[in-house]
Structure 1
Amino acid sequence: MKASIIGIAYCLPGVGVFQAYYQTHQLQNDSPSTVSWIPSGPFTGRLFDKNGPKSLLLVGTFLHVFGLMMASLATKYYQLLLSQAICSPLGAGMILYPLFSCVATWFQERRALAMDITASGSSLGGVVLPILINWMLPKVGFAWAMRTCSFVILTLLIITNLTVRSRLPPKPKPTNIGNYIRHFADPAFLLTVLASFFFSMGMRIPITFLVTFGEVVGMSAKMAGYLAAIYNTTSGVGRILPGYAADKLGNFSISAFAAGLSTVVVFALWLPGHSPALAIAFSTVFEFTSGTYTATNPALVAQISDISEIGTRSGSLYAVPIGGALLANKNGSYWEMQVFTGVMLAAGTLFYILARWYLAKGRLWIKI
């Protein structure tokens, strides 16, 4: 139950739904490239190792909810950028890393499954919140739809702040740039970071543009809005089952396999898909395969890291929202963005395979 609350509380409400809404309302004169920067934002790193989760969760809760509340008042692009692209994601990042890092400290056996269950909570939030937003937008308007989501998230984050704790006490350490750079001298960590970077760059493009793509292939705006909920419905299964399998077969083995499947799904379903049926099929299958990244990636970092530095190493790279620029360059045609997505996922798959190969010292049939 606590894991589900954690995941729902972190979930950024309706990224794909708001991408479509902004393009047709407040920011209808701006390009998809410009609008796509709004659901993105930076994350924070090392403070968990130094101070523990409590202060990060408290500050993160304030920033996350405050940003969403301010977005409900926004009418200009810069206002949405400051609130939903900077303030809210910064707070969400301060919530996310302590949560996963805390879970990692409590488990040695079945760590992947525990972290996948935690991540599955965001799938539940990804089902409930887009449906709530889609239902509320035409009835009460953008402002109160956003505020309602903010109050739901605030309630869950209060529970999170009261219940989350780490098994290990904080260990104050001096902070300098060397603390971050030295980790990249570890080949396993470097390959994992590269895999994460390329895969997340590809994975986040369909999430952002799924609703607008549904409208392009003939779905009604209301039905297209439910694609985000469909997408997240399968992600719960797609995040828990890989965790169970990863504990049996190895985190890196499952991550490489799932990344490869995600690449195939993009090229086999999304690229040739020009109908509502294929849009629904893609949203269903893609999250089942790509959800492994969200759920298992923290377990990869924990596996190759000293437990006292899990928080620092969990500060993964953030993907630049280049997808909107590709969409604008093709006058609304999605094929170039779809190909770019597939190539990024393929690159991520390659680096997952290389990381596994390095850790396994070239041996194929071994749990890694």
Structure 2
Amino acid sequence: MSRSNSPSPRDIEEGDKRNVASDSGEETAVSFTAPAEKEGAASEPPVWVNDAPDGGTRAWLCVLGAWCTSFCSFGWLNSIGAFQEYYETGPLRDYSASTISWIPSLQIFFMMAMGPIVGKIYDSYGPRPLLIGGTFLHVFGLMMASISKTYYQFLLSQGVCSAIGVSMVFQPGINTIVTWFHLKRGAAYGILSTGSSIGGIIFPIMITRLIRQVGYGWAMRSGAFMILGLLIIANFTVTSRHPPKPRPLSKEQMSKPLRERGFLILLAGMFTLSLGVFVPINYLQIQGLQAGMRPELAQYLIAILNAASLFGRLLSGLLADKVGKYNVFITATGTAGIFTLGLWIPAKGDPSIIAYAVLYGFFSGAYVSLMGALVAQISPLPEIGYRTGLVFLTCSISGLIANPIAGQILDNTSGHWNGLKAFAGAVLLGGTAIMIVCRLSFTGMHLKKIF
């Protein structure tokens, strides 16, 4: 029986060294070491020391391809506010806001809930089959949405088919970065995550204007053709430096992350944060219109938010390598929660709403840019795909219920927005508090430690 790639307790105590194939086909060393622990001290995360090149043509081409997957996945998801407005005022105007919000909520759910399955396929077969299948499903779902007329058709095409395709393209992009970058991993994640911000700038403006000029059908088809072109690039450039090794996933391997205290706390923190992080993206444009903002200006709110997020994601990635990934993430999400409670709740006029869009976009950017890096920091390299998938599965549950909860709060308060805003801000701060506990579980009370 072959030995598993996962470290055993003996490996953790004594260290483990294995050989993996490099991009040239040669065997290169990947070593596992564990920091010495003192009795009663906080547990340190496992450290996989690898020889990732941290650069080179193939490495940066992989970042380019991952950027394209980010543009077509989270970038598309960041435009859900434009669709919420169109559906509420157009073909689904007879449905409540909470009912319509199930469409973007299902997008978030399937995009993330497929995580463990996609992660296992990635660990066993690499990124290629996922990218090919995901490209087809994402584009096909959007094409079907372009000819949809009824609620269930929009739900199945955009909320299910396209979302499953998205889940198959964005996770390989995130996972392959780990094999190419080590010391510059935060910067690489920050660069690839700007794709979702730029997509979140382009898609809302593009879709909103095309709906008015050529109709919803051709607006969706235009977006689908753009996505197809970018994903073709991703299919040729996103590669893993280590060849896949198909192997069965035992119950022991499946349950191992769930027996690690630090990883469980990470799951709890990401679950709570995901309850609030998408609410402003989904409802800010509608709230601006109801506050009296001109439609010509309100249509740009999501684009403004994502433009600010572009700089937040890039900066958080660059700072993460110097200050610590968890330190930057906690600071950013906590500040986003503070601005949600302190600025969005009292915001009534155009200047304050726009200011909130900018500040929230900037600080919430770390949620996307550093999610994969947080998992990689506390996980063994051969299990990155599966463990990242577990985090996305957890986020999918809260992503599924967040917008319907927010919509129900809005319906129950007769269209008054303070309850919805308070809900978003409270769960953002609650999730940040749990992430602080996660950090402390690894570092102890060493508050100045780079982690």
Q: Same fold by TM (over 0.5)?
A: yes
Q: Name the structure 2 match of 1:68.
A: 142
Q: Name the structure 1 match of 2:448.
A: 365
- TM-score in terms of structure 2 length: 0.79
Verify: 1:36 aligned to 2:101, yes or no: yes
Q: Name the structure 1 match of 2:69.
A: 6
Please tell me the root mean square deviation across aligned C-alpha atoms, in Å. Answer: 1.4
Verify: 1:51 aligned to 2:101, yes or no: no
Following superposition of structure 1 onto structure 2, how do residues 100-115 of structure 1 map, counting pairs within 5 Å? 100-115=174-189
Give, in whole Å, the separation in 2 of the partners of 1:167 and 1:2.
Answer: 14
SS in structure 2 at match of 1:48: helix
- Deviation readout 1:309-368 (Å, 9 max, x if unpaired): 111111222122322121122122211111111111011101110111111122111111
Residue among 255, 259, 270 paired with 1:185 = 259
Give, in whole Å, the separation in 2 of the partners of 1:168 and 1:245.
Answer: 27
SS in structure 2 at match of 1:314: helix
Give, in whole Å, the separation in 2 of the partners of 1:67 and 1:178.
Answer: 36
1:177 is displaced (CA, Å) by 5.9
Q: Name the structure 1 match of 2:297.
A: 223
Q: Percent identity?
A: 39
Verify: 1:332 aligned to 2:415, yes or no: yes
Cα 1:192/1:137, change in 2 over 3 Å = same
- Deviation readout 1:109-134 (Å, 9 max, x if unpaired): 12111111111111111111111112
Query: 1:9 is matched by which residue type in structure 2?
Result: C
Verify: 1:15 aligned to 2:75, yes or no: no
Q: Is the 8 A contact 1:210 1:228 kept in 2?
A: yes
Over 6 Å off, 4+ runs: none
Q: Is the 8 A contact 1:259 1:346 kept in 2?
A: yes
Worse-matched range after superposition: 318-327 or 73-82: 318-327
Worse-matched range after superposition: 5-14 or 216-225: 5-14
Residue among 140, 157, 166 paired with 2:214 = 140
SS in structure 2 at match of 1:39: helix
Give, in whole Å, the separation in 1 of the partners of 2:224 and 2:366.
Answer: 27
The gaps in structure 2 that reach 5 residues or longer are 1-63
Give, in whole Å, the separation in 2 of the partners of 1:222 and 1:211.
Answer: 11
1:176 is displaced (CA, Å) by 5.8
Q: Is the 8 A contact 1:134 1:222 kept in 2?
A: no
1:292 is displaced (CA, Å) by 0.4
Cα 1:83/1:102, change in 2 over 3 Å = same
Count of matched residue pairs: 368
Worse-matched range after superposition: 322-331 or 209-218: 322-331
Computing the radius of gyration from Cα coordinates, the structure with the larger value is 2
Residue among 337, 348, 352 paired with 2:435 = 352
Q: Name the structure 1 match of 2:380.
A: 306
Cα 1:71/1:179, change in 2 over 3 Å = farther
Following superposition of structure 1 onto structure 2, how do residues 206-355 of structure 1 map, counting pairs within 5 Å? 206-315=280-389, 316=392, 317=394, 318=396, 319=399, 320=401, 321=403, 322-355=405-438
Cα 1:256/1:32, change in 2 over 3 Å = same
Query: 2:137 is matched by which residue type in structure 1?
Result: L
Give, in whole Å, the separation in 1 of the partners of 2:303 and 2:226.
Answer: 17
Worse-matched range after superposition: 191-200 or 316-325: 316-325
Give, in whole Å, the separation in 2 of the partners of 1:28 and 1:297.
Answer: 36
SS in structure 1 at match of 2:243: coil
1:196 is displaced (CA, Å) by 1.1
Give, in whole Å, the separation in 1 of the partners of 2:198 and 2:157.
Answer: 24
- Deviation readout 1:240-275 (Å, 9 max, x if unpaired): 101111111111111111111011110111111111
Give, in whole Å, the separation in 1 of the partners of 2:76 and 2:264.
Answer: 28
The gaps in structure 1 that reach 5 residues or longer are none
Residue among 133, 136, 155 paired with 1:81 = 155
1:181 is displaced (CA, Å) by 3.3
Q: Is the 8 A contact 2:66 2:234 kept in 1?
A: no
- Deviation readout 1:71-100 (Å, 9 max, x if unpaired): 111111111110111111111011111110
Give, in whole Å, the separation in 2 of the partners of 1:64 and 1:331.
Answer: 36
Cα 1:296/1:220, change in 2 over 3 Å = same
Query: 1:12 is matched by which residue type in structure 2?
Result: W
Q: Is the 8 A contact 2:66 2:238 kept in 1?
A: no
Worse-matched range after superposition: 177-186 or 80-89: 177-186
Q: Is the 8 A contact 1:3 1:117 kept in 2?
A: no
Worse-matched range after superposition: 112-121 or 177-186: 177-186
Query: 1:145 is matched by which residue type in structure 2?
Result: A
Worse-matched range after superposition: 158-167 or 311-320: 311-320
